[in-house]
Structure 1
Amino acid sequence: MSVVVGSDEARLDDERRTLLPSTAKDDDNSSTHSIGSEEAPNYRIYRAVVACILWACTSSANILIGAYILRTDNFKYPLLMTGAGQIVSSIIAILSRPWLAHHELTVREYCTVIIPLSGMTAIALGLSGAVYLFLPVSFVQMLKAASPIDVMLVMFLFGLLNPSGNLILSVVVISCGCLFAAFGEVSFSLIGVAVFFASDIMDAIRSVWTETLLGRMALMDSLYYIAPASSVWLVLFAAFDEIPRFIAQKDYEKVLAKPMLYLVYSTMGFVVQIMVLAVINETSTLTLKIVGQIKNIATIIGGVVVMGNHVSNQQIFAYCVETVGFWLYQQTMMAERAKAAKEAEDLESNSALLDEGHGTFGAQHRANSRSHPLSYSRSHSSQSTRSTTTRTYSTLSQYSRYSVDDPGLEDRMEGRLQGH
């Protein structure tokens, strides 16, 4: 697997220190927690368990409440619903900005990065909400196990991934599980499935773009820029159909009749994002995904109990097949990351020896390669081998370090935050 990271390594280190102080997990911090308190490890386990439980509960509740509003309450306005959630996130991000470290963007950066990125975010959110107009909650949760397919496709098209045989095998297994689940769905809707995969692919593209363009920007910082702009996009999209229907059919009376229900749903999206960050901060991305599988099962059961969804024996078997494929996918990705980390360590040692042997030239050449990781192909042919090695080191070391020490990177690169 090869991953291309176009950011300067020093800039990434700088952003990690200034923008994400809460997610730094160096050895000094971990040792500080354990000094003077024998109960510190147990306390950390307790915090991790609480974070996982809170995330699972809030994520499942967000899904079930949204489906209830759309289907049971017959409030068929997914764009307005997601727009309300983005407005709430915008307000919270703006109010909290003075107390948090943040990164300032220029007007040009805002116009060329934030506006198109927020448009993609609005489309992804709108489609993900519209899915529940066509498909039951339980079936949607089964389809979500197919997210690695879209992720791998998008990363491959962007040149961020060279799929191995095991990775392709895992995708084939997941695809077979999805087909079994689809054939066993009594409320199957081709439009609903198309909307789901369109949402999933759009979200994967959005996540790759977010990582590429915004890099290590913190959660609240990215919300500060993206949430208000995506709110405007959602309102513009809704103005073509949903807003006229909302006014003509007087469906605002439904909101006035149950204000707390709609207010809770509008804030749940933000809460889920914070809980995801808490789980990753207290445990790891792998734990998040394992708990996510358990949470999906609980959500499927919740769809059966609360929403009256029907789940056949064939679909239960299909979900087991998808879970096996998902497990194989995660094992392959972990092996690839471990391999990348080992290669990065070896190349760092070789680069150190190269610096010792070539003095200032070697150090300067490696620094230039990191500053311009894509310019090595324009180097003189006599230096091509060393330039390629340096570029590979820069790429692998950045990816392996941030995917291991801060696993949140993998989530952004793999498509979506769990629970949405």
Structure 2
Amino acid sequence: MIINEQILLTYFYLLVYICLSSGVILFNKWVLSPKYFNFPFPITLTMIHMGFSAVVAVIVVRVLKIVTPVKMTFQIYATCVIPISAFFASSLWFGNTAYLHISVAFIQMLKALMPVATFLVAVVCGTDKLRCDVFLNMLLVSIGVVISSYGEIHFNVIGTVYQVTGIFAEALRLVLTQVLLQKKGLTLNPITSLYYIAPCSFLFLFVPWYLLEQPAMEVSQIRFNIWTFFINALCALALNFSIFLVIGRTGAVTIRVAGVLKDWILIALSTIIFPESTITGLNIIGYAIALSGVVMYNYLKVRDVRASSQLTTESVPERITKVFNTTLLLVAHVVCLTDILLVISTFSCLILIV
């Protein structure tokens, strides 16, 4: 009964994450698109998110003192937090800029390259080994994305370059977080992560904002609604919390699997909310090929975790072993649920095309 309650609670957290992630992406597209809210300044929007998150984190840590900051020296901050913040700011900047040029549906298809980028960066940095089975999965994902891109009606080179660059920047951030922070023995919760990373990311964004967007904002008619941007920033902050909540309860593998489901939902919703987001049959075929590689990659990760847990079963307390096995069971449930919903979503998207 306890396991069932844990599974239901995990599904609830995953549902919250999927709803918030989908909502933030669609919200950002609506705000940035010239056809809708017409605020075509992605760096400014990203700075609003980072500034709002930084203020909330400072209030919680320094004013209310609900969360205690970790012990961090200037050397750790300079060698760990600053590089991570730079790549975090870059991934958000490039990702939001892509909304000005390509559709939400095509962006989600390109995001299937995230495992490929993370694997390549991890191999270069020495945190992962070049394995034949993983390499073949990455090759399958890449072929699927190429086919999906070839079938894109409104293909835009600039938007595609922005999105792919943002994907590799996010991959560098993930690998650097593992290499730098974990080796230093630092554990950051959602509040402390925003407390250290958000202000630094805001400063990194200031230079490109001053050079690229600030001159245009002086001469253009800017549509600014304080409540719109407040709700948008609040949703982005809630999304960051939900990501840490899901990862803390299940793991990074589970959130990657949930991300696959979220991408399908976004592709279907974007075609309804934004009529200009046209999906072709070749888009769906290519994306299905890419996702098959992503699902296999997630399966390999789950298998590796299970194998490592079996090797260390004799050396860990029985209580920890039961908790870990429960986590693996949750991951298995999520994988099965995602596979079923992927099939349903595929047929739904094909029906929308027809």
TM-score (norm 1): 0.69
Q: Give the match for residue 319 of structure 1.
A: 287
2:41 to 52, 55, 77: 77
- Give, in angstroms, the shift of residue 210 of structure 1: 2.0
Q: Distance in 1 between matches of 2:146 and 2:311?
A: 38
- Give, in angstroms, the shift of residue 156 of structure 1: 0.4
Are positions 1:50 and 2:12 aligned together?
Answer: yes
Are positions 1:222 and 2:165 aligned together?
Answer: no
- Give, in angstroms, the shift of residue 102 of structure 1: 2.6
Are positions 1:187 and 2:154 aligned together?
Answer: yes
1:125–1:343: structure 2 CA closer, same or farther, 3 Å change rule? Answer: same
TM alignment of 1:41-120, pairs within 5 A: 41-71=3-33, 72-97=36-61, 98-120=65-87
Q: Distance in 2 between matches of 1:166 and 1:113?
A: 32
Q: Give the match for residue 120 of structure 2.
A: 153
Q: Distance in 1 between matches of 2:136 and 2:293?
A: 8
1:338 to 301, 306, 311: 306
Q: Give the match for residue 224 of structure 2.
A: 255
Q: Give the match for residue 176 of structure 1.
A: 143
- Give, in angstroms, the shift of residue 64 of structure 1: 0.5
CA RMSD of aligned residues (A): 2.6
* Partners of 1:78 and 1:129 within 8 A in 2: yes
- Give, in angstroms, the shift of residue 275 of structure 1: 1.2
Q: Distance in 1 between matches of 2:116 and 2:67?
A: 36
Q: Which runs of structure 1 show a deviation greater than 6 angstroms over 4 or more consecutive aligned residues?
A: none
Q: Distance in 1 between matches of 2:195 and 2:178?
A: 16
In structure 2, the gaps of 5 or more residues are 317-323, 332-354
1:162–1:283: structure 2 CA closer, same or farther, 3 Å change rule? Answer: closer
1:267 to 234, 253, 259: 234
Count of residue pairs the alignment pairs up: 313
TM-score (norm 2): 0.81
* Partners of 1:166 and 1:328 within 8 A in 2: no
1:284–1:119: structure 2 CA closer, same or farther, 3 Å change rule? Answer: closer
1:404–1:246: structure 2 CA closer, same or farther, 3 Å change rule? Answer: farther
1:133 to 92, 97, 100: 100
Q: Distance in 1 between matches of 2:246 and 2:193?
A: 19
In structure 1, the gaps of 5 or more residues are 1-37, 350-399, 408-420
Kindly provide the CA deviation profile for residues 81-119 of structure 1, in whole angstroms up to 9, marking residues without a partner as x: 111101111111112221123312223333333333322
Equivalent AA in structure 2 for residue 164 of structure 1: R
Q: Distance in 2 between matches of 1:287 and 1:88?
A: 28
* Partners of 1:47 and 1:282 within 8 A in 2: no
Q: Give the match for residue 359 of structure 1.
A: none
Q: Distance in 2 between matches of 1:69 and 1:109?
A: 37
Q: Distance in 2 between matches of 1:102 and 1:263?
A: 26
Q: Give the match for residue 344 of structure 2.
A: none
Percentage of pairs with the same residue: 23
Q: Which has the larger radius of gyration?
A: 1
Q: Distance in 1 between matches of 2:80 and 2:27?
A: 33
Equivalent AA in structure 2 for residue 336 of structure 1: D
